[in-house]
Structure 1
Amino acid sequence: MTATLPTAVDIAARAVDVWKVYGSGEAQVIALHGVSVELQRGQFTAIMGPSGSGKSTLMHCLAGLDTVTRGEVYVGDARVTGLSDRALTDLRRDKVGFIFQQFNLLPTLTAEENILLPLAIAGRKPDRDWFDTVIDTVGLRDRLKHRPTQLSGGQQQRVACARALVARPEVIFADEPTGNLDSRSGAEVLSFLRNSVRDFGQTIVMVTHDPNAASYADRVIFLADGRVVDELRDPSAEAVLDRLKRLDVTAAQLADGAVDGAV
Structure 2
Amino acid sequence: MTHTAPITDEALAEPGAGDLAARALRITKVYGSGDARVTALDGVTLGIPRGRFTAIMGPSGSGKSTLMHCMAGLDSIDSGRVLIGDVELNKLDDKRLTRLRRDKVGFIFQAFNLVPTLTALENITLPLDIAGRRPDREWLDRVIDTVGLRPRLGHRPNQLSGGQQQRVACARALASRPEIIFADEPTGNLDSRSGAEVLGFLRDSVREMGQTIVMVTHDPAAAAYADEVVFLSDGRITDTMAAPTAEKVLERMKGFDLPGAGS
Partner residue in 2 for 1:8: 17
**Aligned pair 1:40/2:33, yes or no?**
no
Q: CA RMSD in A?
A: 1.5
CA contact (8 A) 1:11 1:76 kept: yes
Code of the aligned partner of 2:185: E
SS at structure 2 position matched to 1:81 = helix
CA distance 1:239–1:254, change in 2 (3 Å): closer
Pairs within 5 Å for 1:76-95: 76-95=85-104
Partner residue in 1 for 2:163: 154
Q: CA deviation at 1:254?
A: 4.6
Partner residue in 1 for 2:129: 120
**Aligned pair 1:68/2:77, yes or no?**
yes
Q: CA deviation at 1:253?
A: 4.4
TM score, norm. by length of structure 2: 0.93
Code of the aligned partner of 2:53: F
CA contact (8 A) 1:50 1:224 kept: yes
**Aligned pair 1:98/2:104, yes or no?**
no
**Which of 124, 130, 140 is residue 131 of structure 1 equivalent to?**
140
Question: 1:157-187: per-residue Cα shift (whole Å, max 9, x none)?
Answer: 0000000001000000000000000111000
* Corresponding pairs, count: 251
Separation of aligned partners in 2, 1:241 and 1:82: 39
Separation of aligned partners in 2, 1:192 and 1:9: 26
CA contact (8 A) 1:19 1:31 kept: yes
SS at structure 2 position matched to 1:36 = strand
Q: Percent identity?
A: 69
Q: CA deviation at 1:150?
A: 0.6
**Aligned pair 1:59/2:59, yes or no?**
no
Partner residue in 2 for 1:233: 242
Separation of aligned partners in 2, 1:13 and 1:116: 25
Q: CA deviation at 1:23?
A: 1.1
CA distance 1:113–1:94, change in 2 (3 Å): same
**Which of 162, 187, 195 is residue 186 of structure 1 equivalent to?**
195
SS at structure 1 position matched to 2:112 = coil
Question: 1:90-145: per-residue Cα shift (whole Å, max 9, x none)?
Answer: 01001000000001001011100000000011110001111111101111101111
CA distance 1:253–1:210, change in 2 (3 Å): closer
SS at structure 1 position matched to 2:81 = strand
Give structure 2 stretches of 5+ with no counterpart: 4-10
**Which of 239, 242, 245 is residue 251 of structure 2 equivalent to?**
242
Separation of aligned partners in 2, 1:9 and 1:141: 37
Partner residue in 2 for 1:259: none
CA contact (8 A) 2:143 2:174 kept: yes
Partner residue in 2 for 1:210: 219
Q: CA deviation at 1:27?
A: 1.3
CA distance 1:82–1:131, change in 2 (3 Å): same
**Aligned pair 1:171/2:180, yes or no?**
yes
Q: CA deviation at 1:249?
A: 2.9
Q: CA deviation at 1:8?
A: 1.9
